[in-house]
């Protein structure tokens, strides 16, 4: 049996797909879309980072634990860099504890920060 409306709705689906593709945000410099990035894994130009920042950040969070790159620590002479990173991390945790009014944790972190400062002065 021939369905009179099936051809009409098939054409409507194609129309809706084309309309959605036209509405997608494009980079004003290279005219790439976020769909292009998802398909190829490559950004079109430096402006794309600004245009698609929220989508790219969300994608990065799915792929890796952090959106910022911290690099690797060299195996030789990396101890000093490790201590510096730990010290900076402790300072961030201390600021967060104070901001959250978690003074018990803040006191413990403050003590550890002071200990690390003394270690740095000795070396």
pLDDT per residue rounded down to tens, the chain (123 residues): 455 555 555 555 555 555 555 578 889 999 899 888 888 888 889 898 898 888 888 877 777 766 666 666 666 667 777 888 889 999 999 999 999 999 999 999 999 999 888 776 655
| Spatial contact of 33 and 26, defined as CB atoms under 8 Å apart | yes
Give the chain's domain count: 2
Let me know if residue 5 belongs to a domain. Answer: no
pLDDT (0 to 100) of residue 38: 84
Let me know if residue 104 belongs to a domain. Answer: yes
pLDDT (0 to 100) of residue 17: 58
pLDDT (0 to 100) of residue 109: 93
Whether residue 62 is found in the same domain as residue 85: no
pLDDT (0 to 100) of residue 111: 93
Let me know if residue 30 belongs to a domain. Answer: yes
Whether residue 60 is found in the same domain as residue 84: no
User: From the CB of residue 120, how many other CB atoms can be counted at a distance below 10 Å?
Assistant: 12
| Spatial contact of 94 and 109, defined as CB atoms under 8 Å apart | yes
pLDDT (0 to 100) of residue 107: 93
Domain residues for the domain of 114 are 79-122
Let me know if residue 115 belongs to a domain. Answer: yes
């Amino acid at each position: 049996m021939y369905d009179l409306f099936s051809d009409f709705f098939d054409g409507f689906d194609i129309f809706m797909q084309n309309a959605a593709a036209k509405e997608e945000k494009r980079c004003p410099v290279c005219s790439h879309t976020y769909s292009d990035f998802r398909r190829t894994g490559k950004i079109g130009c430096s402006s794309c980072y600004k245009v698609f920042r929220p989508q790219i950040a969300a994608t990065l969070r799915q792929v890796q634990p952090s959106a910022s790159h911290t690099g690797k620590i060299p195996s030789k002479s990396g101890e000093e860099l490790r201590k510096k990173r730990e010290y900076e991390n402790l300072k961030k945790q201390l600021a967060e504890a104070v901001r959250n009014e978690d003074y018990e944790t803040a006191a413990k972190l403050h003590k550890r920060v002071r200990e690390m400062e003394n270690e740095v002065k000795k070396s």
